[in-house]
């Protein structure tokens, strides 16, 4: 008996009892669909985690802070019972050390400060990042309009406004925003002039400058001409509310406004490190921590979320697996009934010289047919249910059912595998039947 004969005979045996075969296949359909849909929900949750963290910032960026956490442990047991923060210095040596790490493509030191901007009768406050402007694009600072600011030369201070800065201008006397009837800002890059100051009294009309404890006063802070050349896009970067200036410009302004800007220009506020690939992040982060710095990335939170998601996927898959287990029992029952009904037929083909392996192969082929058709139809049902869930239910809560190719192929293969395992015992039983006893059977 060749393979084609075995395939044809196995199919005809199932076809002779179409209703029973259909019900058995239906069990596999329900079992396969249950597992696929349940696991797809877990994968969808995982994808949702990933998308949310990507919106919150780049998954290939590491933030190096000006402090690190030192764990406090019990003397006897060594158990961690707490921790304390220890300041670390971030300077140009740190920048060069990070650039030398394998997998790093860009390093951006920065100062973080604030300022106030005046344009005619309107004002607004700025959160300013002094950064290496040549590296800004690599860290996801994309432009909605205009161009990126250039490194500072002389007193020409260029700035890229945050995504909402222009709409944030308002008249301090009336409290009204500088918006037209359509909600667009009257303040524009092309037609407006800007002045920057770090002295709030220049903006809000306080009498005098800062007052020292001894009662002495400090002169009012200066105004600086500010050349606004661009506006950040808010897409793909949760830091788009910051305005960007050259790091050396902020260093110079901080020295001139020590009484208003509390920045120590000998060290950076923080340093961002960009990795070439998402798989490099945790390894590079670990190296930075071993160098004595404090570092974190969104990968930390994503990894924890994915661990929770993985456990949820296993739970959902186990729930779906119950239906597949029931289907497997149904296959075994069908195959056993087939043996009882075809006992005489089995005895005859044994007497005619059919090999034992062919008899076992015949029953295993029937089981494989059930697994294959059940798996294929189960996948079709899974895609249908996934579409319905995404269209009418899950989309409203920000979740989705995702069925990747590997899940489809894995489910089909697993269905056939389960069917073969279920058909193994009936096939062995058919092989062990006595030929003479089988022929005498009614």
* Mean pLDDT of the region 20-47: 87
Per-residue model confidence (pLDDT) at position 241: 85
d(CA 90, CA 171): 39
* Mean pLDDT of the region 97-121: 92
User: Over the stretch 237-276, which tens digit does the pLDDT of each residue have?
Assistant: 667 889 999 999 999 998 888 888 888 888 898 999 999 8
Q: 130 and 252, same structural domain? A: yes
Residue 441 pLDDT > 60 = no
Q: 394 and 248, same structural domain? A: no
Domain presence at residue 277:
no
Domain presence at residue 19:
yes
Structure tokens at 233: 């896009």
Q: 363 and 234, same structural domain? A: no
d(CA 223, CA 66): 30
Q: 430 and 327, same structural domain? A: yes
Q: Which of 246, 268, 290 represents a domain boundary (last residue)? A: 268
Q: 176 and 47, same structural domain? A: no
User: Over the stretch 156-200, which tens digit does the pLDDT of each residue have?
Assistant: 899 999 988 999 999 988 889 988 888 889 899 988 999 999 887
Structure tokens at 155: 């007193």
Domain presence at residue 165:
yes
Structure tokens at 125: 């406050």
Residue 433 pLDDT > 80 = no
* Mean pLDDT of the region 228-244: 84
Higher pLDDT, 441 or 359: 359
Please, which residues have CB within 8 angstroms of residue 68's CB and are 6 or more apart in sequence?
85, 86, 88, 289, 292, 293, 294
Total domains present in the chain? 2
Q: Which of 223, 250, 268 represents a domain boundary (last residue)? A: 268
Q: 309 and 402, same structural domain? A: yes
Q: 239 and 141, same structural domain? A: yes
Q: 327 and 253, same structural domain? A: no
Domain presence at residue 61:
no
d(CA 428, CA 416): 18
* Mean pLDDT of the region 39-63: 77
Q: 309 and 226, same structural domain? A: no
**If you average pLDDT over every residue of the chain, what do you get?**
82
Per-residue model confidence (pLDDT) at position 401: 86
* Mean pLDDT of the region 53-66: 77
- Show the DSSP H helices in 57-186 as ranges: 92-99
Q: 311 and 260, same structural domain? A: no
Domain presence at residue 84:
no
User: Over the stretch 390-413, which tens digit does the pLDDT of each residue have?
Assistant: 888 776 666 788 899 999 999 999
d(CA 373, CA 92): 65
Residue 208 pLDDT > 50 = no
Question: Residue 95: which pLDDT band, with cuts at 50, 70 and 90?
Answer: very high
Helix (H, G, I), strand (E, B) or coil at 94: helix
Domain presence at residue 70:
no
CB of 177 closer than 8 Å to CB of 169: yes
Q: Which residue range(s) make up the domain with 235? A: 111-268
Q: 247 and 119, same structural domain? A: yes
* Mean pLDDT of the region 309-321: 79
Per-residue model confidence (pLDDT) at position 207: 44
Domain presence at residue 287:
no
The alpha-carbon radius of gyration of the chain (Å, integer) is 35
Nearest CA among 221, 219, 63, 217 for reference residue 140: 63
Domain presence at residue 364:
yes
Please, which residues have CB within 8 angstroms of residue 145's CB and are 6 or more apart in sequence?
189, 230, 231
Q: 232 and 127, same structural domain? A: yes
Q: Which of 222, 246, 268 represents a domain boundary (last residue)? A: 268
**pLDDT above 90 covers what percent of the chain?**
26
Residue 437 pLDDT > 60 = no
């Amino acid at each position: 008996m060749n393979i084609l004969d075995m395939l044809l005979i196995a199919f005809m045996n199932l076809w002779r009892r179409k209703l029973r075969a259909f019900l058995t296949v239906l069990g596999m359909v329900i079992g396969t669909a249950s597992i696929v849909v349940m696991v797809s929900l877990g994968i969808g949750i995982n994808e949702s985690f990933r998308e949310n963290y990507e919106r919150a910032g780049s998954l290939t960026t590491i933030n190096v802070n000006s402090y690190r956490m030192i764990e406090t442990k019990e003397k006897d047991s060594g158990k961690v019972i707490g921790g304390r923060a220890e300041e670390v210095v971030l300077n140009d040596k740190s920048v060069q050390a990070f650039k030398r790490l394998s997998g790093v493509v860009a390093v951006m030191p920065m100062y973080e400060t604030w300022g106030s901007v005046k344009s005619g009768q309107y004002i607004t406050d700025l959160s300013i990042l002094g950064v290496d402007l040549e590296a800004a694009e690599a860290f996801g600072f994309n432009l909605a309009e205009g161009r990126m600011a250039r490194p500072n030369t002389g007193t020409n201070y260029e700035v890229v406004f945050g995504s909402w800065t222009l709409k944030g201008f308002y008249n301090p006397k009336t409290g009204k925003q500088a918006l037209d009837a359509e909600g667009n800002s009257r303040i524009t890059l092309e037609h407006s002039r800007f002045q920057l100051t770090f002295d709030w009294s220049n903006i809000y009309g306080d009498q005098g400058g800062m007052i020292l404890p001894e009662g002495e006063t400090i002169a009012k802070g200066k105004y600086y001409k500010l050349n606004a050349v661009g506006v950040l896009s808010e897409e793909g970067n949760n830091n788009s509310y910051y305005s960007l200036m050259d790091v050396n410009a902020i260093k110079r302004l901080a020295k001139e406004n020590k009484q208003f800007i509390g920045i120590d220009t000998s060290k950076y506020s923080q340093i961002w490190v960009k990795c070439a690939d998402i798989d490099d992040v945790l390894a590079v982060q670990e190296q930075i921590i071993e160098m004595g710095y404090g570092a974190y990335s969104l990968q930390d939170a994503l990894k924890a979320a994915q661990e929770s998601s993985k456990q949820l996927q296993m739970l959902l898959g186990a729930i779906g697996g119950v239906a597949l287990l029931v289907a497997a029992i149904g296959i075994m029952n069908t195959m056993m009934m087939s043996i009882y009904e075809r006992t005489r037929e089995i005895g005859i083909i044994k007497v005619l010289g059919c090999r034992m392996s062919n008899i076992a192969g015949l029953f295993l082929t029937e089981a494989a047919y059930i697994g294959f058709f059940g798996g294929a139809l189960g996948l079709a049902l899974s895609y249908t249910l996934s579409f319905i869930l995404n269209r009418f239910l899950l989309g409203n809560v920000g979740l989705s059912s995702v069925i990747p190719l590997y899940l489809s192929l894995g489910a089909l293969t697993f269905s056939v595998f389960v069917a073969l395992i279920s058909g193994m015992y009936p096939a062995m039983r058919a092989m062990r039947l006595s030929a003479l006893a089988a022929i005498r059977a009614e």
